Amino acid sequence: MNATTAMREPWDIATAARHLEVSPHTLRYYERIGLVSVPRNQAGHREYDAAAIRRLVFLTRMRTSGMPISDLRHYIELVDRGDITIPDRLDLLLEHRDTLRAQIARLQLALATTEYKIATYGGATQP
């Protein structure tokens, strides 16, 4: 998903939630714990600009991949401190990538086992 491709003007919370495939509650939570800053209009409503959406795309993908909120908070703290923290950010992401690769390997093994059992019972294992 490239959520920012369709942006011509800031999104309200419902539009942002729909494009990011998360609940408005999740977006408010991410803002409340300091993961993202969202400007407000004169009426006090959140207006998600392209920068906020880019950050939220990253955050939601990392959450989908299993990155804990504590790691996301640490990562955003590093981002907010500037380019001097790039090596630390890289280390955090490399560690997460290693975790993901191990998880994918375990899932591939589980899938192979499931397909074997399906074939054992006479079912087709391919779509």
Tell me how far apart the alpha carbons of residues 96 and 108 are, in angstroms, rounded to a whole number: 18
Give me the chain's average pLDDT, please: 92
Rounded to an integer, what distance in angstroms lies between the CA atom of residue 127 and that of residue 44?
Answer: 49
pLDDT of residue 123: 73
State the Cα–Cα distance between residues 72 and 78, nearest whole angstrom. Answer: 10
User: For the chain, percent helix, then strand, then coil, each to nearest 5?
Assistant: 65, 5, 30
CATH of domain 1-64: 1.10.1660.10
Query: Are 62 and 76 spatial neighbours (Cβ–Cβ below 8 Å)?
Result: no
pLDDT score at 122:
84
In which residue ranges of the chain is CATH 1.10.1660.10 found?
1-64
pLDDT at site 1: 46
Is the pLDDT at 7 greater than 70, yes or no?
A: no
| H or E element in which residue 42 lies | none
Mean pLDDT, rounded, for 34-53: 94
Asked if the model's pLDDT at residue 127 lies above 70, the reply is: no
